[in-house]
Structures are given as C-alpha cells and as structure tokens.
Amino acid sequence: MIRATLSLVLLALALPLAAAADPQTLRVLTWTDYIPADLAEDFRKETGIRIDVTLTNNEDIITRLRASNGAGFDLVHPSHDRVAGAQEQYGIYKPLDMRRIETDRLLPEMLEATRKNTTVGGEVYGVPYLWGTEGLTVNTRRARVSDYTDLCSPELKGKTAIRSVRPVLIAFAFAYGEDPFALYANPTAYAAMANRVVDRLIACMPNIGLVFSGEKEAQDAFRSGAVTAAMFWDAPSWALNREAAPVRYIAPTSGMLGWIVASSIPARGGNDEGAYKWINFAARPENAARITKAVGNFSAARGTLKLVDPKLKAQLYRTFPKGFVNIHWYENVPAGIEDAEAPALARLRAAAASTR
C-alpha cells in the first residue's frame, strides 16, 4: 500500500512538468494510431489547435488522472466500461455538455450504449469514438474452431494462443456456460468463477503454444505457422486475412466480447473548447474514415462505411453478417472486481511461465 501510494505521489509530482494548459494545445491521452498525425495536422490548420498525444491504456488513464486529480490532459480515450467506476471512486472526469457535441453524427446504438455505461448521478461522462471486438482467429486450412474451448482440442495441441488477461477469463466463462457480468455485483462469487475458469485453462496449458502480450507477437506466430488458432481481436486479425485469405476472424458460438472507446474530458483539463472541437471534427464521416484506416477498427461515427477501404468493409460484413448480434458488450467494472480476479490471473500467468 505504501509503495502504491508513493508511486501515485511521484506521478502527481511529475505531471505538472508537462505542458501547462494552453488553448492552442489539446493534450490527449489515447491509444496507438487513434489520432493519425496527418489528421491532427488538418485539425491544427482548421482550428489553430495543436494536438499533443500521449499513448496510454485503460489502467494508465485511471492512474494518471487519479494521481493528478484529473489534471494534465484535456481529452482521454478510456474504454466505455472503465469510466463510471473511476468517476465514482476518484472524480477524475467532468460531465459532458451534450449540447456542444454533434450527436447526430454518431451511431445511435453506440451513443446509447456509451451514454448508459458512462452516466453517473444523471450526468454523462463519455461519448463513443471507436468500437471493436475480440473473438477467434483461425487458419481455416489447418483447423476448424467454433468456440473458445476449441483452443483446447487435442488436435490443436501446441498450436493455439491466448493472453493471460481478464478478457480471457470473461470469454472462457461464457464458453463454459457462465455469465461473468452477472457476478460483478458479488466479488466473492466472481472470484470463485475466475478460479473455476483458470483451473480449466491450466489443464489446457500444454495445448497452448503461445501466451502473447501484443498483437505483433500473435501475428508473427500465425505467419510462421507456429499458431493455428487464437483468441484475438478484430483489427490485427483482419490485417492477417488481407495477407493470407485462410486466416479468418470469426465469431465464437458463445459470443464475441465487445468494447467501445469513449471520449471523456478530465476533471481539471484546461482546454474544453479544444476537446469539443476534436470530438466533432473526428465524427465527420471523411475524418472518421481516416481514423478507421489508421487503426483498423471502425469509428462510432455515422456515414463512414462508404468511405473506408472496400476490403475492410467486406471483412466487417463477413464477420458480422447479421449485425451486432451475439456480442457481449463489456459491462462497467465495479470497485473490487479487479482485486477479486487478481489471484486467479496470477495463477494463470504462473502456469504459463512454467510451461515455457
């Protein structure tokens, strides 16, 4: 506890060293490629506002904003399930003024889902930016799989891949007939579920040839033939498919996992005007299509499909021929859940390390 507190204090001391709030600079905490450099330059030309990008992930967003009480950045891109809990615990965001956002440019279903997940005390703290899914990727010339549990099939021994992270717990729980989101209100029951899933994954570990941490590692394993099937996500899987048609991204029978990246404004951000301008600028169809091209995931803006690469659009329709059905959209992560699952994940990581 002392070490964790000290880390937050040191981070808080470091944050003011970053550029001070400036109406001509928009400080954004985001993921790789989510703000393409050429689009940021077009935004600067149009508005006079330069974008200063810092790369991040969900945990880092919460840590940084918690340490600074919501200062240091003007716009952040957390997953839609990681906003409400952080706001309730730490008060790191400010309510969005929905009148300043051109919501008619956003897909209604994405807007409603994000509004639902990011509303706290009647105030909305996020609007959708991008969305994506995690499912199964398989070399169809070498194997057939239909659900996550097929990664443990004897005929695929040593040829499958997963990560040792919470999405694996969630996905395999659904495949084993459990509903992990229904247990979010009961951390003790959730921890028991996580341990049941990990027990099965540990038994499956000899079957798993790769426990990866990044997309390039998994892609290279498919390219070399070391891996035949994996729990993987959409954009890098579609990229593999464009290289080699037999590598397909498919929906598991127990359902994909779905996420939405939100745009949120930190509680003590200094350039709200710039943040709202970027949110609206990025939602224009022509700009949203450029973001989709850079990231490989689809924008939450309306009217973009006719502007994206036809090959990528074809992949989207092939993966989702019936639209957004059988997708488990991530529920808000309540306080205590990550602590509840930590021992199970630690056991999974130890088992993975012992087999390497």
Q: What is the pLDDT of residues 111-143, one digit of tens each?
A: 999 999 999 999 999 999 999 999 999 999 999
Would you tell me how many other CB atoms lie within 10 Å of the CB of residue 351? 18
With cut-offs at 50, 70 and 90, classify the pLDDT of residue 324.
confident
| pLDDT of 186 | 96
| pLDDT of 247 | 98
**CB-CB contact of 242 with 311 (8 Å):** yes
Q: CA dist 234 to 137, 148, 258, 352, Å?
A: 8, 15, 10, 24
Helix (H) or strand (E) holding 262: strand 256-263
Q: Contacts from 69-72 at CB under 8 Å and sequence distance 24+?
A: 69/12, 69/267, 69/268, 70/94, 70/266, 70/267, 70/268, 70/269, 71/15, 71/16, 71/266, 71/267, 71/268, 71/269, 71/270, 72/15, 72/16, 72/18, 72/27, 72/266, 72/268
| pLDDT of 322 | 85
Residue 15 pLDDT > 50: no
Domain residue limits, the chain: 2-130+259-310, 132-257+332-355
Q: CA dist 265 to 56, 97, 276, Å?
A: 15, 10, 9
Distance, CA of 217 to CA of 229 (rounded, Å): 14
Percentage of residues in the chain with pLDDT exceeding 70? 94
With cut-offs at 50, 70 and 90, classify the pLDDT of residue 13.
very low
Q: What does CATH list as the number for 132-257+332-355?
A: 3.40.190.10
320-335: average pLDDT: 90
C-alpha angle 297-259-30 in degrees, rounded to nearest 5: 65
C-alpha angle 186-190-192 in degrees, rounded to nearest 5: 125
- The model's pLDDT over 143-157, given as tens digits with 9 standing for 90+, comes to 999 999 999 999 999
Biggest alpha carbon distance in the chain? Answer: 59
Strands (E), 264-349: 298-299, 327-329
Residue 355 pLDDT > 90: no
186-192: average pLDDT: 97
Helix (H) or strand (E) holding 275: helix 272-282
**Does domain 2-130+259-310 fall into CATH 3.40.190.10?**
yes
Residue 30 pLDDT > 70: yes
| pLDDT of 19 | 44
Q: Are 2-130+259-310 and 132-257+332-355 the same fold in CATH?
A: yes
Distance, CA of 149 to CA of 200 (rounded, Å): 10
**CB-CB contact of 185 with 205 (8 Å):** no
**CB-CB contact of 204 with 153 (8 Å):** no
* Side chain identity at residue 263, one-letter code: S
Residues in contact with 331: Cβ distance below 8 Å, sequence separation at least 6, in sequence order: 81, 117, 181, 184
- Which of 297, 265, 329 has the alpha carbon at shortest distance from 114? 329
With cut-offs at 50, 70 and 90, classify the pLDDT of residue 356.
low
C-alpha gyration radius of the chain: 21
Residue 6 pLDDT > 90: no
Place of tokens 């084993």: 176
pTM beyond 0.85: yes
Distance, CA of 165 to CA of 348 (rounded, Å): 9
